[in-house]
Amino acid sequence: MANKIIEELSPHLEKVAADEGLILWDAEFVKEGATWYLRLYVDKEGGVNIEDCERFSRAVDPILDELDLIDRSYCLEVSSPGVERKLSGAAQINRYVGEKATVKLFDAVEGRKKFVAVIDGADENAVKLDLDGKKLEIPFSNVAKINLYFDFDIGGNDKK
C-alpha cells in the first residue's frame, strides 16, 4: 500500500519540486509506532536549506489534499537527503561516480554483506563498484541499500 501511494504521488511531487527549482530525491510513506509519516527529500545544486524545504512543503500541501490518496492521518516531513543520502537507481548513482558509498547486500559478495566501496557507475541492471582495487558489478536485485559514505572522523582523533 505504501509503495503504491508513493508511486501515484511521485509524478505530482516531481512537478511541484521542479516548479520550485528543486529535485524530488526520494519519498517514503512509513509507519513508526502508531504514526504514519510521508517523508519527502528534496535537493538542488548547492544543497537545500530550511527555506527551500518550507517552500516545498507549502506548495505540495494543497496538492496532497486535492489528490486525497492517503486515507489516514499522517505527518508530512520535508528535508534534505543529507550527506549520507540513499541512492536508488542508475541516474542517482551515476551522479556520484568516484565517490565512496556504503553498500548493504542481501547475499554476500567477497564474503561480506556490507562494505564501503568507490562508485564506478550503474546501468539499469547493476551497480559497478571498486572494492579495494577489485571491480565488482552487483545486480540491483542483490542490493538492499546504497548510501553515500561520509567520514565523520575528520582528523585529530588518531589513537596512537
Helices (H) and strands (E) in the chain, counts: 3, 8
pTM of the model: 0.82
129, β-bridge pairs: 119, 136
Mean pLDDT of the chain: 93
User: Is 159 a member of any domain?
Assistant: no
From residue 125, alpha-carbon distances to 7, 63, 82, 131, 150 in Å are 20, 34, 26, 19, 26
User: Is 97 a member of any domain?
Assistant: yes
Tracing cell 536549506 back to the chain, one arrives at 49
User: Is 6 a member of any domain?
Assistant: yes
Domain interval for residue 115:
89-148
Do residues 62 and 118 share a domain? Answer: no
User: Is 157 a member of any domain?
Assistant: no
Tracing cell 582523533 back to the chain, one arrives at 157
pLDDT in tens, 14-41: 999 999 999 999 999 999 999 999 999 9
Do residues 60 and 98 share a domain? Answer: no
Do residues 74 and 107 share a domain? Answer: no
Do residues 106 and 69 share a domain? Answer: no
Q: What is the mean pLDDT of residues 45-70?
A: 95
Chosen domain end from 60, 79, 98: 79
Work out how many domains the chain is built from and give that number: 2
* Better pLDDT: 109 or 155: 109
Q: What is the CATH number of the domain that holds 70?
A: 3.30.300.70
Q: Is the pLDDT of residue 157 over 80?
A: no
pLDDT for 1 equals 76
Do residues 75 and 93 share a domain? Answer: no
- Residues in CB range of 70: below 8 A, 6 or more apart: 5, 29, 36, 38, 64
